[in-house]
Amino acid sequence: MPLRRPHGERHRTDRIGWLRASVMGANDGIVSTASLLLGVAAAGTDRNGMLVAGVAGLVAGAMSMAAGEYVSVHAQADTETADLAREQAELSADADAELNELTAIYVGRGVEPDLARQVALQLTAHDALAAHAREELGISEMLVARPLQAATSSAASFAVGAALPLVVCLLTPPAHLAAVIWISATVSLAFLGSLSAHAGGAGLWRSASRVALWGMLAMGATSLIGSLFSVHV
C-alpha cells in the first residue's frame, strides 16, 4: 500500500517505531544486567560467577526482547492487514458509500461540505485504500507495524546495553566492583534518557532523571535481595 508523503520533509514521528524499540532494549539491557550483577555480587559471588550470570542474562534477555517484540508487533501488523483487507472489500462492494464516509470525515474536521467532497473524490481517484486507511484506520507508512525491524532493534540494543555492565565487571578491580557498576549504569541510563529525549524532542533533564531513577530502584532492589541471600543461605 503506497502510503507516502508527497515531499521529503522528515519529522520525529518517522523514527518512533525503531526509536521506541531501541531505547527500550538498551534501557532494559543496562538495568537488567547491572541489577543481576549487583544482586549476585551482594550474595557473595566472585567476579567469574558474576560474568557467567551476566553473559547468560545478556543472551536470554536479547532473545526474550526479540521474541516479545516480534510477537507483539506482528499481532499489530496482522490486525492492520485484516483491517485493510476489510476496507478493500468495502470499497469494492460499495464505493459510493465509502466516498460518502470519507466526505463525512472531512466535514467532521471542519471542512466545508462541497470542498470535503472534492477532496474525497481526488484522494479516492489517487489511491482510495490509502486514503481510507489513513483517515479511518489511522494507518500510514510511517506508523505501520514492522515486526522484524522492531525485533532486531530490540535484541541488538539490549545486547549493547547489557554489554556495558559486563565490560565494567571485567575491567574493574574487585574491591570497587559494585560501586563502579552502580555508578556507570546510572550515568549510562541518564545519558540514554537524554539521548532519547533529544531524538524525540522532549525535555532532557526530566527524561534523564526518570530513566536513572528507575534504574537505581531496580539495582537497589536486587542488591537487597542478594544481601538477604548472603545472610540466610
Tens of each residue's pLDDT in the chain, 233 residues: 444 444 444 544 455 555 666 777 888 999 999 999 999 999 888 999 999 999 999 999 999 988 988 888 888 888 888 888 888 898 888 888 888 888 998 898 888 989 989 988 988 888 888 888 888 777 766 555 678 887 888 889 999 999 999 999 999 998 889 999 999 999 999 988 887 776 666 667 877 888 889 899 999 999 999 888 765 44
Q: Is residue 41 part of a domain?
A: yes
How many structural domains is the chain composed of?
1
Exposed, middle or buried, 9 (CB in 10 Å: 0-12/13-18/19+)? exposed
Per-residue pLDDT at 127: 83
Q: Is residue 101 part of a domain?
A: no
Q: Is residue 122 part of a domain?
A: no
Q: Is residue 98 part of a domain?
A: no
The enclosing H or E element of 157 equals helix 147-171
d(CA 93, CA 84): 14
Per-residue pLDDT at 233: 46
Q: Is residue 209 part of a domain?
A: yes
CB count in 10 Å sphere of residue 120: 25
Q: Is residue 203 part of a domain?
A: yes
d(CA 193, CA 187): 10
Per-residue pLDDT at 87: 83
Q: Is residue 181 part of a domain?
A: yes
Q: Is residue 84 part of a domain?
A: yes
d(CA 186, CA 35): 11
Per-residue pLDDT at 159: 94
In the block, residue with C-alpha cell 469494492: 92
Per-residue pLDDT at 39: 93
d(CA 187, CA 191): 6
d(CA 190, CA 5): 35
Q: What are phi and psi of 169, to 5 degrees?
A: -60, -35
Give the contacts of 226 (CB within 8 A, at least 6 positions apart).
Answer: 38, 39, 40, 41, 42, 43
* Nearest partner of 162 among 63, 21, 68, 31, judged by Cα: 31
What is the residue range of 193's domain?
A: 13-89+147-232
d(CA 165, CA 146): 30
Per-residue pLDDT at 2: 41
